[in-house]
Amino acid sequence: MRFRTKLFLVIGGLVAVALAAALEVVRAETERRVREDFYERFARTLGAFRQIQEQRRSAVRDEATALAMSNTVFRTVLSSATVAEDDLGFGGGPSREEQLRDANLRLRSLLPTLAVTERHDVFAVATAAGELIYSHADPRYFGDSLLGVAPIARAAE
């Protein structure tokens, strides 16, 4: 081979290596910037989601409080189902299951007339101890833990 050909091949090889190195640097920098941008946007979106979630929790809390304060029948059912666990030493009272069944039946007749059950995907009423009295998902189901309601169990997971 002639000297010019050798020189051309050497210079061509150097240019090809330099070009490949430059392309690799550009690719790595672009990937790094895309990742940083993704993580920054994800963090902002997560913050906004958590803020909206807290606003929804607050709205539901306020709505439940307003419902309990404004509707005497609802408040009576909740308090009797929660406090009725103790027979105050008199004995002979209804069993816990009967008390919960009674509360469930009263809520099943009361809640369909209230708009609150239709505005939420998940609506459940429980005693202070966490025993389920009523759930919109399965109105006939009562007595067990709130985690027995499928939508609440999925949300807890």
Integer Cα distance of 134 and 136 in angstroms: 7
Closest CA to 131 of 145, 150, 149: 145
Predicted local confidence at residue 36, as pLDDT: 95
Stretch 99-117: mean pLDDT: 71
Instruction: Say if CB 141 and CB 148 are below 8 A apart.
Output: yes
Integer Cα distance of 124 and 146 in angstroms: 8
Predicted local confidence at residue 79, as pLDDT: 66
Strand partners, 132: 126
Integer Cα distance of 140 and 42 in angstroms: 41
Contacts of 120 (CB under 8 A, 6+ apart): 60, 136
Task: Report CA torsion sign: 56, 61, 114, 155.
Answer: positive
Q: Which residue has the higher pLDDT, 119 or 18?
A: 18
Closest CA to 149 of 125, 128, 129: 125
The answer on pLDDT for 85 being more than 70 is: no
Predicted local confidence at residue 89, as pLDDT: 47
pLDDT digits (tens, 9 = 90+) for 24-63: 999 999 999 999 999 999 999 999 999 998 998 888 778 7
Predicted local confidence at residue 137, as pLDDT: 66
Instruction: Tell me the pLDDT of the chain averaged across its residues.
Output: 78
pLDDT digits (tens, 9 = 90+) for 5-35: 999 999 999 999 999 999 999 999 999 999 9
Stretch 61-67: mean pLDDT: 78
Band of pLDDT at residue 82, cut at 50, 70 and 90: low
Predicted local confidence at residue 56, as pLDDT: 83
